[in-house]
Amino acid sequence: MIKFQLKSTLLIFLISFTFIQCSEEEKNNDFILSLLAIPTSNNSSVGPCPPTSLPVSIPLANTIVSANSTVTGFSNSSKAINGVCGGGEFSGSLDVYSLNLTGSGATLVLSWAGKTVKNVTGNDFIIYENSFKVSESSDRYAFDPMVVQVSFNGTEYCGFDLSGFNPSVADSNKISSWPGFAGLRPVVYNMATKPFTVDELFTQTGNGFLLGGGDGFNLDDLIVGGPNTNCDAAARTNIQTNGFKFIKMISASNVTNPNTGSGYVYPHSYNNGPDIDGVVAKYIE
């Protein structure tokens, strides 16, 4: 099941860790009530999405290259390319493709039907998941982190720097604990009910957040090497110079952290990984 269907489990997890972090004096009913205020349904915020037709001006990844999820009810890979259906800061979308936590179903590869995502100024693409903020006053989010890699030829994949990952258990649901990962920020963009232009989608609002939500990535930030990649200097230079055709998204739990020898595990109680709503490029040709 996807995140918003297990809010009661999430509440128990968040409250437990809050008690661990705080002294007895810091515990108060207002904080607990703020957690309990999480919306129980996203129907009103998501609306009639996906749209009946996709906006031609938005370079949405539109081709499934590889998808093997076995998540019951959310293994239809077309949901990852049929439009972005964000529910806002406090609610996620049901129109998603969910990855398994491990195994072959923990990876999704998309493309733009043979077109190339170019390296332009600033962020070059945005990944939309269905994370949400737990309350107005909190800096905590319910998310499923994923590792992102891109390739020009479908063989050599390069990714982003994950070395800043070092959260304590108590801070594992803070965005700042997962630098270089996707699937962290809520999605405001909804192609049916809250449209944006490409320029608006890529407009920064501060602290890594974008006007339409989601997580933005800049090809200038690609690194050589990295967990679960075969990226050398030549492959990185080729992508940064000529762009990429394929994007791979992997459940963080299925990628080995070289510092621990195990996956980048987010300690939630969900039985699946990231819930992918779509990927938008800034410019393709």
The confidence score (pLDDT) of residue 136 equals 85
Note if the pTM is more than 0.75: yes
Q: Determine the Cα–Cα distance for residues 240 and 260; give it in Å rounded to an integer.
A: 30
Domain that holds residue 132: 3-281
CB 188 within 8 A of CB 162: no
The pair of structure tokens assigned to 28 is: 């108060």
pLDDT tens per residue across all 285 residues of the chain: 465 444 333 443 443 433 333 333 332 333 332 333 333 333 334 568 999 899 999 999 999 999 999 999 999 999 999 999 999 999 989 999 999 999 999 999 999 999 999 999 999 999 999 999 988 888 899 999 999 999 999 999 999 999 999 888 778 899 999 999 999 999 999 999 999 999 999 999 999 999 999 999 999 999 999 999 999 999 999 999 999 999 999 999 999 999 999 999 887 657 899 999 999 999 999
As a dihedral over the C-alpha atoms of residue 152, residue 154, residue 160, residue 163, rounded to 10 degrees, the angle is -150
Q: Determine the Cα–Cα distance for residues 245 and 188; give it in Å rounded to an integer.
A: 26
Q: Determine the Cα–Cα distance for residues 71 and 96; give it in Å rounded to an integer.
A: 11
For residue 195, which phi and psi values (nearest 5 degrees)?
-75, 155
Q: Domain total for the chain?
A: 1
The confidence score (pLDDT) of residue 171 equals 86
Q: Determine the Cα–Cα distance for residues 189 and 211; give it in Å rounded to an integer.
A: 8
The confidence score (pLDDT) of residue 47 equals 63
Q: Determine the Cα–Cα distance for residues 262 and 240; give it in Å rounded to an integer.
A: 30
Q: Determine the Cα–Cα distance for residues 176 and 240; give it in Å rounded to an integer.
A: 26
Instruction: Output Rg (C-alpha) for the chain, integer angstroms.
Output: 18
The confidence score (pLDDT) of residue 134 equals 87
CB 107 within 8 A of CB 73: no
The pair of structure tokens assigned to 2 is: 């996807």
Helix intervals (H) in 90-177: none
The confidence score (pLDDT) of residue 105 equals 98
